[in-house]
Amino acid sequence: MRFSILLLMPFGVLAQPQAPGVMPPQLRQAAALINDFGNTRRYAAENAAVKPPAAGEQRVVFMGDSITDNMHNAQRFGPFFPGKPYFNRGIGGQVTGQMLLRFYQDVIALQPKAVVIFGGTNDIGSNIGPVPMETIENNLAAMADMAKGNGIKVIMASLTPVCDLPGKPPMTPGRPPESIQTLNRWIKDYSARHNLVFLDYFSATADDKGLLRAELTEDGLHPTAKGYEIMNPLAEKAIAQALGR
């Protein structure tokens, strides 16, 4: 998913009289990003309904983008950790800067024991414009620091690879595999240096060329149910490791 901000609008659009409180359709997406860049409204009602964790509850929040968000669709991608007190706080299309902006209300305020931080592919893909690698790293580190400062165990997930499928828009030009691997090396190193759990989705879903295995995707970017069948047990193992520390 790619966002576009229309900064240069035709003067005719801007000059047309509008009823009070009515915004031209061409400006709605830009206004939404400006007024709530992190899309904190997405989970506001659900967060308000979340009760404090019960004694002994091993609550976990998954913070991410569309690869996390897609797990809401159980019919297509399989159940989201049934029976577990896990919360999905993925939002499709988001970059790490947006995830950071909503990290307090979507993670910290829910009082989890652990958080899985899984983001960066949309930064590399320039969903809202180019993002320097250092900025991605700083955003991920800031989320990890916020969690640790609130006594939450941190699990840092590597990015999944991408691939180009026949008949589909190519993914590798916009998300260069070398950039994905560069960020993944940083995530692994950062996790080791700061005593965080590293969740290696990449190695489990990549082929011998470092590309996403074709049988695990329909578009070259997002995992299918078969992909989640591989990834979810890895997440469970990483969560158990983090909670055991």
**Tens digit of pLDDT for each residue in 224-242?**
999 999 999 999 999 999 9
The two three-digit tokens of residue 143, written as one number = 């989320």
Give pLDDT tens digits for 133-147. Answer: 999 999 999 999 999
- The residue-averaged pLDDT of 115-123 equals 98
Residue 201 tokens read as 């989705």
Please determine, for residue 125, whether its predicted confidence score (pLDDT) is greater than 90.
Answer: yes
Distance CA 61, CA 111 (A): 9
| Cα–Cα–Cα angle for 192, 195, 197, rounded to 5 degrees | 80
pLDDT at 26 over 50: yes
Report the SS3 class of residue 199. strand
Q: Which CATH superfamily is domain 20-243 in?
A: SGNH hydrolase (3.40.50.1110)
Arithmetic mean of pLDDT over the chain: 91
**Domain residue ranges in the chain:** 20-243
Strand ranges in the chain using DSSP code E only, listed in sequence order: 60-64, 86-90, 114-118, 153-157, 197-199
3-state secondary structure 214-241: HHHECCCCCECHHHHHHHHHHHHHHHHH
Per-residue confidence band for 37, with pLDDT thresholds at 50, 70 and 90: confident
Helix (H, G, I), strand (E, B) or coil at 114: strand
pLDDT in tens, 184-226: 999 999 999 999 999 999 999 999 999 999 999 999 999 999 9
CB 2 within 8 A of CB 93: yes
Q: Give the rounded distance of the alpha carbon of 244 from its chain centre.
A: 25
Check whether 35 has a pLDDT greater than 90.
Answer: no
1, pLDDT greater than 70: no
Look at residue 29 and tell me whether its pLDDT is greater than 90. no
The CB density around residue 51, as the number of other CB atoms within 10 Å, is: 8
34 touches 40 (CB < 8 A): no
Least Cα distance to 177 among 216, 239, 124, 122 occurs for: 124
- Whether 17 shows a pLDDT value over 90: the answer reads no
Q: CA-CA distance, 195 to 47, in Å (whole number)?
A: 29
